Chains A and B, each alone.
Chain A
Amino acid sequence: MYSSRYGLWAAALAVYAFLYLPLAIVVAYSFNDSRLNAEWVGFTWHWYQVLLHDEDMLIAAGNSLLIALVSSLISTVLGTLAGIAIYRYDFKLLNFLVMAPVAMPEILLGVSLLLFYIQVLNLTLGMLSVLLAHIVFSIGFVAIVVRAGLAALDVSIFEAARDLGASPWQTFRHVTYPLILPCMIAGGLMAFTLSIDDFVVTFFTAGVGVQTLPLHIYSMIKTSVTPEVNAVSTLLMLLTLALILAAARFAPDMLKGKY
């Protein structure tokens, strides 16, 4: 009995080590006072200072933040509308059309968007094309969260609002919107985290016009891996973690239908 419990603990430990050890190593070596990610020499903030004075890195980070902010805002609005639509209308095709980009392999999405932008829209690849691409893959995620939030509500409250004299717009303004706002925020935060660290779709749709943080990190690794990469990865990890925690704070109450 007891031995099997120890066995379970050991197995769990092994799995978590497998998941988190690589991340822990990246974080640890960002503080390593050596040019190489080989052996531990001593603690330093040096690589974070290098990071702060790396012009290209800062431009890439600025681009990433801007793209993440704008694309998450736009996809929150569009995703919310899509979420309401698929909740309200029992229309399988609509559901599929909204959700398909979520399930589609990123490489396929990247290639098809690249071809579409160049051959059909005749668009110069750059900030705009990356922005559009990020909106495309974020809408579905927001829609899923918003629809789940709506599904957790008592359907009759929307009828109750109309029954009490609220026009369709008043029903949205005074009942639907305040009730799904936490889901919209959670969905928006998810969209932000998806956008800021996206590589595959961005790689295909950025061209040479714009450099984002993940693209920049990739190009740095191609030449040489310095602990500066570890430092920027650590910061990105922290930001993502903070956003996910924030999203989780908004989402669970909603998804339990308690709010």
Chain B
Amino acid sequence: MAQLEIKNVTRRFGDFVALDNVSLNIEAGEFFTLLGPSGCGKTTLLRMIAGFDMPDAGQILLDGKDLADIPPEKRPIHTVFQSYALFPHLTVAQNITFSLRMARNALSEVNARLQQSLDQMRLAGQADKYPHELSGGQKQRVALARALINRPRLLLLDESLAALDAKLREEVQVELINLQRDIGITFVFVTHAQTEALALSHRIAVLNHGRLEQVDEPSKLYGFPGNRFVADFIGHINQLEAQVLESVHSHLHLSVAGLGDIIAPPLPGAIPGQRGVFSIRPEQVRIGMHNELAELKNHFSGTIQSVLYQGDVSVYRVGLADGVTVEALLPNSAPGRAQLFEAGDTVKVGWRHDAGMLFHD
């Protein structure tokens, strides 16, 4: 039995369907992420797990027990809010021990746990400060410490990294992974940032328009997206109009606008004549001069249209026949060279016959 079971949950706000028959199982000790664009229903689902909203239909079970009649203050579930929601009139120590004091724990117990928590979250010198005296990273650690001090069964994190600047966010991601591994509490994380989701999670559920699109491990989600939405939402992907010419056990033979015939990985159930979109990640596309890519089954001639230098990598946009373009991502591993090709260069582009995938319409 999964620790948290979400069974056929539906939630409507007037005519708007925020969640449409969503079912999910979250295992104990998992770092689980709800990912999707804004308005996809992820926050609504999180609020239902916390108890601030109720499903119109369906059930949410924690350890097999229906949460429907249990108010938020009685659920062994705590939330790290997007704004952190620290109590402005209480010190760091008073904030962190809030749940213990509300439950009327003995003072000696409260102080012992506070000390432990301050040490664990590297807040030792901050106990008597007020929230407005803290940096963004410290506030975030106080919010985490406050939510974890009475060891909830489940920790919910609502876009909890969004308020941090980019550099700090990377540090906090590593801390969060280590923390979750050390304490073993189930984390349910909500975010619209796919890189964050990929970096942190054991499993990710992708939501769109209140529907569950796919639940999988990060590498599976990225490498084998179940549909066009997931492919496009997780990372970047080239999308090319295609038609099936031949479908056999080992491969697909496609006709792609601007490219001609290509070989693609097999897709069970594909039949000749079927239309769809051939999708391939930019880092799978290679660029070479003259005949460098001749060993690849899929290779074409093109012209570099633009180069986006990003430091570690550069993104090249290559124009092919009929106005079709593909993006290629190449590492700038040669020191001191900003780019390998320049706009206007005539090049070859290609990719392996087992790269990319077809999504039918």
Q: Contact residues of A with B, CB < 8 Å?
A: 153-154, 156-157, 159-167, 170, 174-175, 178-179, 258-259
Contact = CB atoms under 8 A, between A and B. Distances in A.
Nearest to B156: A163
B102 A154 contact: no
Contact of A164 (B51, B71, B98): B98
B234 interface: no
Contact of B102 (A153, A156, A159, A165): A165
Task: Tell me whether chain A's interface is mostly helix, strand or loop, or mixed.
Answer: helix
Contacts of A178: 89
Contact of B85 (A156, A179, A258, A259): A156
A165 B71 contact: no
Nearest to B79: A163
Nearest to B76: A165
B293 to A, nearest CB: 54
B207 to A, nearest CB: 22
Contacts of A175: 87
Contact of B99 (A154, A164, A179): A164
Contact of B73 (A154, A157, A166, A258): A166
20 contacts: A153-B88, A154-B83, A156-B81, A157-B88, A159-B52, A160-B81, A160-B86, A161-B87, A161-B98, A163-B72, A163-B73, A163-B79, A163-B147, A164-B73, A165-B74, A166-B98, A174-B98, A178-B89, A258-B132, A259-B89
Contact of B103 (A161, A163, A165, A259): A165
B38 to A, nearest CB: 17
B146 interface: yes
Contacts of B88: 153, 157, 179, 259
B82 to A, nearest CB: 8
A157 B102 contact: no
A160 B132 CA distance: 17
Contacts of B103: 165
Interface residues of B, number: 26
B37 to A, nearest CB: 22
Interface string B48-71: 001110000000000000000001
A166 B87 CA distance: 13
B281 interface: no
Contacts of A160: 79, 81, 85-87
B89 A179 contact: yes
Most B C-beta atoms less than 10 A away, residue of A153, A157, A179: A157
B192 interface: no
Contacts of A167: 73, 102
B160 to A, nearest CB: 12
B78 interface: yes
Given A164-B146, A165-B102, 20 more contacts: A154-B85, A156-B85, A157-B87, A160-B79, A160-B86, A160-B87, A161-B98, A163-B50, A163-B78, A164-B73, A164-B99, A165-B73, A165-B99, A166-B98, A167-B73, A170-B102, A174-B98, A179-B88, A179-B89, A259-B89
B81 A159 contact: yes
Nearest to B130: A259
A178 B89 CA distance: 7
B81 A164 contact: no
**Which of B50, B51, B82, B87 counts the most chain A CB atoms within 10 A?**
B87
Closest 9 CB pairs of A and B: A160-B85, A156-B85, A164-B99, A156-B81, A166-B102, A162-B72, A165-B102, A157-B85, A162-B73
Contacts of A164: 73, 78, 98-99, 102, 146-147
A159 B79 CA distance: 9
A159 B71 CA distance: 12
Nearest to A181: B89
Nearest to A259: B88
A127 to B, nearest CB: 38
Contacts of B82: 156
A179 B146 CA distance: 19
A153 B150 CA distance: 26
A76 to B, nearest CB: 19
A161 B99 CA distance: 8
Interface in B218-251: none
A161 B81 CA distance: 11
Contact of B83 (A156, A161, A165, A174): A156
Contacts of B81: 156, 159-160
A216 B98 CA distance: 54
